[in-house]
């Protein structure tokens, strides 16, 4: 649905509004730093009481969550409005358009509405019922995209497009809120329950550590678009946003899997031994690799042929830019397992040095590449890769494997194998889809998709057929089929 909506968006509104969409979304991601990591810190505190059925403590944590998030929503709204006159300094290659402030304010409103309801989603995550939130999201997003498509075709009006987005975001949050109120009645019983000062102090310490992580994440992900818009072109940012549409789709799909696992992982860490947790980690990391490697290799091989057919060659970026986009996606998604386990272990303070280093390296190197070396969008994205490989690549596994009591060699050896297999599959499929399979049109593209899907998965099946992790999941699949 996102793809269909983007297609209508491009043909109805063009490259300029694509640029605005990417730019304003990332400005608001930076503003969301006001959240300070409160959600993650409180979520970590909820795993154990939820597993033990301590309703009073769960309600007290949720009451704190609500109080803080209401304050955050107000802060982001005020700061966002104050920034409105300065938007012109972040936009380049775009004619003066009087509706720009209104568009920005509507993006701001869409962001801030979430903070007044979404805190209740946390109880679904810790209670291993996050599928409820996911189903709600699917339904409201499908409705949103359908209405946006209809009104774009009828009116070609970006303002109406954004108003629909706000309404559906609000509907999603209200539905989850009503569901939680009906199915967790003890929240009303303990609606005035408060945490002790000692507990609040512990959470605030975790929040301080999480703020650094949030800052780092924002610098790495959001400033890329700001740098591209300022030092390259807002139009180029619009072209890049077509690629991030697909990377965001993949991140959303795979992150939903890990959101569904978060409650189970939290429960596992709270109740089981380190050895049991490590064995489970290896299985989850194996599945994560397979999903991420297949997705990134297929994206690298197929994205340019698809965009060329979809909206034309004028919307294509260079192959080296596509390569670094896919590489950054791989390096981000392969961390899913580590992020999930580190969060459930509550390693917020331990991650602070890494987060600070990542943010400084990313911004410094990206600025150097795009200003002094004139490397354009490729330089900005290369800076992101360098910051990732020099920090996250080794430090997050170091903390986690130290917790397991396992040598870091057991991380580097599998990772080396995983990245090599990804390179082989991505390179082979790119060569087949762009050099060997030469007949064009949609029929040719569908043939490339089939070859890519079958080829990569057969290759990995042959490589991993004798491993314990593959046999474990194959056994689950066979049991499901028999059942």
Q: What DSSP letter does each residue of 65-111 carry, written as one string?
A: HHHHHHHHHHHHHHHHHHTGGGGGGG--S----TTHHHHHHHHHHHH
Interior angle at CA 414, CA 409 and CA 420, nearest 5 = 125
Instruction: Quote the crossing angle between the two packed helices 2-13 and 15-31, to the nearest 10°.
Output: 120
Residue 188: what pLDDT? 87
Coil, strand or helix at 272: coil
Residue 29: what pLDDT? 63
CA dihedral 455, 460, 463, 466 (to 10 degrees): -130
User: What's the pTM value of the predicted model, to 2 decimals?
Assistant: 0.75
Task: Report the first-to-last Cα separation within the chain, whole angstroms.
Answer: 32
Q: For the chain (length 483 residues), average pLDDT per consecutive 10?
A: 82 73 66 60 78 86 83 83 78 68 84 78 82 88 93 89 90 90 88 83 73 68 78 83 88 80 78 86 93 96 93 89 96 91 81 85 92 91 94 92 91 95 96 87 93 96 93 90 86
Task: Give CA–CA dist 279/282, Å, rounded.
Answer: 5
Residue 454: what pLDDT? 96
Residue 418: what pLDDT? 96
Q: Six-digit token pair at 396?
A: 């997050």
Helices (H), 374-408: 376-390, 392-404
Q: Cβ(297)–Cβ(459) under 8 Å? A: no
Q: Cβ(213)–Cβ(355) under 8 Å? A: yes
Q: Cβ(437)–Cβ(444) under 8 Å? A: yes
Q: Cβ(352)–Cβ(213) under 8 Å? A: yes
Q: What would the DSSP string read from start to end of 139-195?
A: HHHHHHHHHHHHHHHHH--HHHHHHHHHHHHHHHHHHHHHHHHHH-THHHHTTT---
Q: Cβ(403)–Cβ(345) under 8 Å? A: yes
Residue 415: what pLDDT? 95
Residue 368: what pLDDT? 94
Q: Under 8 Å CB-to-CB from 241, ≥6 apart: which residues? A: 18, 19, 21, 22
Instruction: Please identify which residue in the block is written with the tokens 């209740």.
Output: 120
Residue 197: what pLDDT? 82
Looking at residue 466, what DSSP letter applies?
A: T
């Amino acid at each position: 649905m996102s793809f269909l909506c983007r297609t209508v968006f491009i043909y109805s509104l063009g490259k300029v509004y694509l640029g605005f969409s990417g730019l304003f979304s990332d400005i608001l991601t930076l503003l969301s730093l006001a959240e300070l990591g409160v959600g993650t810190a409180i979520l970590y505190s909820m795993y154990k009481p939820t597993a033990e059925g301590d309703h009073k403590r769960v309600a007290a944590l949720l009451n704190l969550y609500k109080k803080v998030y209401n304050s955050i929503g107000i802060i982001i709204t005020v700061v966002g409005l104050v920034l409105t006159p300065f938007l012109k300094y972040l936009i380049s290659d775009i004619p003066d358009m009087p509706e720009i402030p209104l568009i920005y304010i509507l993006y701001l409103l869409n962001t801030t509405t979430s903070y007044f309801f979404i805190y209740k989603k946390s109880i679904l995550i810790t209670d291993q019922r996050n599928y409820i939130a996911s189903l709600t999201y699917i339904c409201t997003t499908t409705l949103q995209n359908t209405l946006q498509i209809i009104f774009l075709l009828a009116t070609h009006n970006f303002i109406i497009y954004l108003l629909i987005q706000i309404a559906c975001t609000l509907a999603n949050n209200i539905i989850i809120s009503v569901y939680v109120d009906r199915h967790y009645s003890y929240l009303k019983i303990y609606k005035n329950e408060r945490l002790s000062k000692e507990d609040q102090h512990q959470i605030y310490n975790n929040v301080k550590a999480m703020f650094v992580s949030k800052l780092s994440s924002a610098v790495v992900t959001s400033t890329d678009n700001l740098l591209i818009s300022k030092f390259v072109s807002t139009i180029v940012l619009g072209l890049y946003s077509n690629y991030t549409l697909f990377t965001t789709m993949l991140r959303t799909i795979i992150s939903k899997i890990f959101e569904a696992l978060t409650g189970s992982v939290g429960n596992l860490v709270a109740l089981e031994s380190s050895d049991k947790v490590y064995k489970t980690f290896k299985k989850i990391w194996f599945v994560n690799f397979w999903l991420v490697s297949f997705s990134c290799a297929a994206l690298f091989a197929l994205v340019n042929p698809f965009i060329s057919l979809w909206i034309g060659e004028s919307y294509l970026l260079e192959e080296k830019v596509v390569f670094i986009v896919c590489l950054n996606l791989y390096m981000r998604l392969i961390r899913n397992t580590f992020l999930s386990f580190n969060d459930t272990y509550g390693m917020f303070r331990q991650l602070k040095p890494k987060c600070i280093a990542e943010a400084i390296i990313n911004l410094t190197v990206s600025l150097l590449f795009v200003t002094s070396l004139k490397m354009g969008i490729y330089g900005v994205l290369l800076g992101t890769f360098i910051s990732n490989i020099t920090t996250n690549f080794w430090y997050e596994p170091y903390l986690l494997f130290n917790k397991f009591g396992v040598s870091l060699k057991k991380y580097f050896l599998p990772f080396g194998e995983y990245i090599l297999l990804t390179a082989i599959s991505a390179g082979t499929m790119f060569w087949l889809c762009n050099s060997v399979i030469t007949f064009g049109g949609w029929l040719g593209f569908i043939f490339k998709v089939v070859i890519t899907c079958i080829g990569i998965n057969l290759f990995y099946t042959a490589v991993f057929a004798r491993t314990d992790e593959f046999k474990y999941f194959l056994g689950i699949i066979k049991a499901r089929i028999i059942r």
